[in-house]
Amino acid sequence: MIPPTRWLPMPVLSLLLLLVWLLLQHSISPGQWILGGVLAIVIPLVARPFWERQPTIKRPLKLIHYVLRVLKDIVVANLQVSRLILDPRGRMRPAFVEYPLTLKENFSITVLASTITMTPGTVSAHLRLDGKTLLIHALDVGDIQALIDEIHERYERPLMEIFES
Amino acid sequence: MLDSILEGVIALTLIAGGAFAFIGSLGLTHLKDFYMRLHGPSKTTTLGVGCTLIGSLIYFSLREGPVIQELLITVFAFITAPVSSHMLAKSALHHKLKPDPRTRGNPIELQSERPKHTLEEEPQGDSPLP
């Protein structure tokens, strides 16, 4: 990891911004490098108050594995939700589930909440102020405890290993 | 030969994208309460947009050399969609919108002595609109 300095409080974010800028402009002319460079320095400085601290990725390989798994789950989730919507009998078993969080850091909780929203039949609805419970709305769930266990095993444990362990 | 295979792939992604977007919108009208309706746009429509963009990515990569913007749009759509649906759900909980009676679980956010609003009679301002 590149150490943060005063003018580059979040070096990885700056690098990403420059890369995204060049890709969006679809050009690598010197002017775009300069403009992208200025943006890559100014945006993190302006956005700094909103960040708590830069998340560190401890296991990059696990992260790639996690992203692939989530992409696959997104497709599966969509087929499931489509089936539920198209089912004329409308046999849905919606439920509010209170999910006990074991993640501690805000960034990894955000990633988990977004993952839950994109994957099978669940939308994260509310994070209680104490940061220990995530309220999830599920579209069709039989066994609530099984859902909690599945989220824990499938998403929360890998995230724990990637960002916090 | 390769061109026609790729054209088939493009057609497939476009059709899948359109179908997913349609099903998501159908869910928006068909499902019973606000929280269930949230599932359609947050998942299905996002994948619909994603599929369409991937199709566009392949098509323009074939005609005008590699383009990457569509991939970035897809990534940003997938990053931002969960956040917006989370905020919508949060505001619905704040307004204590009543869930469908079949919904199990009674979160503390929805319990109160305040009268609950049903979906049909949403709270209006104090003064009626002109």
What is the domain partition of chain B in residue ranges?
2-99
Q: Which of B12, B61, B86 to mutate to test the interface with A (most CBs of A within 10 A)?
A: B86
- The pLDDT value recorded for residue B26 is 84
User: Which H or E run includes A124?
Assistant: strand A122-127
CB A138 within 8 A of CB A42: no
Tens of pLDDT, residue by residue over B63-104, are 877 777 888 888 888 888 888 888 888 888 887 777 777 777
Closest listed residue to residue B72, CA positions, set A43, A16, A74, A68: A16
Going by the DSSP 8-state scheme, the letter that residue B126 receives in this structure is: S
Q: Binning pLDDT at 50, 70 and 90, where does residue B130 land?
A: very low
- The pLDDT value recorded for residue B15 is 92
CA gap B28, B37 in Å, rounded: 5
SS3 (DSSP) at A2: coil
Side-chain-side CA neighbours of residue A44 (13 Å): 23
Instruction: Give how far A1 is from chain B: nearest CA, Å.
Output: 24
The mean pLDDT of B39-47, rounded to a whole number, is: 80
How far lies B69's CA from each of A20, A47, B72, in Å? 9, 24, 5
Q: Measure the N-to-C terminal CA separation of chain A; round to a whole number of Å.
A: 17
Out of A34-48, A133-147, B6-20, B83-97, the most confident range is B6-20
- Contacts of residue A93, Cβ cutoff 8 Å, sequence gap at least 6: A140, A141, A142, B102, B104
Instruction: Give how far B79 is from chain A: nearest CA, Å.
Output: 8
- The pLDDT value recorded for residue A82 is 81
Per-residue pLDDT at A34 exceeds 70: yes
- The pLDDT value recorded for residue B129 is 47
Per-residue pLDDT at A5 exceeds 70: no
The structural domains of chain A, with segments of one domain joined by +, span 11-50, 60-164
Q: Which of B39, B95, B104 to mutate to test the interface with A (most CBs of A within 10 A)?
A: B39
CA gap A155, A66 in Å, rounded: 8
**What sign does the CA torsion over A28, A33, A39, A41 have?**
positive
The minimal CB distance from B30 to the residues A85, A118, A123 is found for: A85
Q: Binning pLDDT at 50, 70 and 90, where does residue B121 land?
A: low
The minimal CB distance from A117 to the residues B20, B85, B105 is found for: B85
- The pLDDT value recorded for residue A86 is 80
Q: Does B47 touch chain A (CB under 8 A)?
A: yes
Provide the token pair at A53: 């601290």
ipTM, two decimals, is 0.74
Q: Binning pLDDT at 50, 70 and 90, where does residue B14 land?
A: very high
The whole-angstrom distance between residue A139's C-alpha and the CA centroid of its chain comes to 20
* The amino acid at A155: Y
CB B13 within 8 A of CB B58: yes
- Contacts of residue B82, Cβ cutoff 8 Å, sequence gap at least 6: A113, A114, A115, A116, A117, A118, A124, B42
Going by the DSSP 8-state scheme, the letter that residue B98 receives in this structure is: P
Q: Binning pLDDT at 50, 70 and 90, where does residue A90 land?
A: low
What does DSSP say about strands A122-127 and A95-100: parallel, antiparallel, or unpaired? unpaired
User: Which H or E run includes A134?
Assistant: strand A133-138
Task: Spell out which chain A residues touch chain B, with contact meaning CB-CB distance below 8 angstroms.
Answer: 20, 23-24, 26, 74-75, 77-78, 81-82, 85-86, 90, 92-98, 113-118, 121, 123-126, 135, 137, 139, 144
| Widest Cα–Cα separation across chain B | 68
Per-residue pLDDT at A3 exceeds 70: no
- Between A56 and A42, the higher pLDDT residue: A42
Bridge partners (DSSP) of residue A96 are A137
Per-residue pLDDT at B128 exceeds 60: no
**What sign does the CA torsion over A151, A155, A161, A165 have?**
negative
The mean pLDDT of A77-102, rounded to a whole number, is: 78
Bridge partners (DSSP) of residue A123 are A137
Lowest mean per-residue pLDDT among A36-50, B10-24, B109-123: B109-123
CA gap B111, B95 in Å, rounded: 11
Q: Which architecture does CATH list for B2-99?
A: Orthogonal Bundle (1.10)
Mean pLDDT of chain B: 78
Lowest mean per-residue pLDDT among A102-116, B15-29, B95-109: B95-109
